[in-house]
Amino acid sequence: MSADVRAAARLLYKALQLMGSPANDQEYRELLSRYRADGTFAEVVQEQAAGLELVILDVSERGLILAPANRDSRFSLRMGDLRQHLTKEQKVALVLAHLAISAVFFPTTDRLEDDAKTPLPATVARFRDTLLSLVHRLAEAAPDDSGEPDAEEFIPGWQLLERLPAVNPRAERASTSSIDGFVKLALKQMTEYGLVRLERDSEDEAQALYTATHRLRVHLRELTLPRLFHLTREALAR
């Protein structure tokens, strides 16, 4: 049993490495195969995950996808963790940028739920235009009259973004001085958390392409984010 416990810990360790991939890690691939084939070993992994206040969202040849079991988990990401020097309004605006990026990759429920449908790569300009559209839709929706608590939570964010220019050529590459800057901040964070991958780099930022990872699909599909994600897509569809 001690060997199983150690192997289970190794699998969880591999899964917690956000940039790790079974494609280039033989040990990870072997542990995943064992998890899928050995029910006893899978139970050991699940028990250890529960002890760490983690839940297993998905297991496939692409990896083991974990998430915090609750808001108090050491692994839980809070609003204050987004960027500590940002104001409340800027943090909500950054959340909207995350949601707009996600909506570009998964514009329909079918795209989100079908693992065989690979999200198409997209540019910063595409994400920026989607965020602009989202801001305009939320502003037109008059959240005060809708009675939707989610929409009310978005108010500080979209009101801030509404006042910003689409692009600020004099600003740093990722800043809070423009819609474009918020998109780049969100992309940077999503890349660090293994949710987005830079598919094609370029000296000309307009030509750089980003792709969603399987981790992003699973998180959107399985966690509480779909509640906000669906609201975002509904706003864009109006």
Whole-number pLDDT of residue 80: 52
**What residues contact 234, with CB distance under 8 A and at least 6 apart?**
none
Q: Domain residues of the chain, as ranges? A: 2-68, 79-237
CA angle at 228 for the pair 140 and 132, rounded to the nearest 5°: 40
Place of tokens 């220019």: 165
Residue 180, judged by CB atoms within 10 A of its CB (0-12, 13-18, 19+), counts as buried
- Based on its alpha-carbon atoms, the radius of gyration of the chain, rounded to whole angstroms, reads 19
For residue 13, the model assigns a pLDDT of: 95
* pLDDT averaged over 10-residue windows placed end to end, the chain, 238 residues: 89 89 92 95 95 92 88 63 71 89 88 84 94 87 51 75 85 78 92 89 79 90 62 52
**Do residues 168 and 180 make contact, with C-beta atoms less than 8 angstroms apart?**
yes
Q: What is the DSSP string of 136-198?
A: HHHHHT-HHHH--HHHHHHHHHHHHHHTS-S--TTS-SS-SSSHHHHHHHHHHHHHHTTSEEE
**How far is it, in rounded angstroms, from Cα 18 to Cα 161?**
30
**Closest to 227 in 3D by CA, of 154, 135, 146, 141:** 154
Looking at residue 149, its pLDDT comes to: 44
Amino acid identity, position 152: E
pTM over 0.85: no
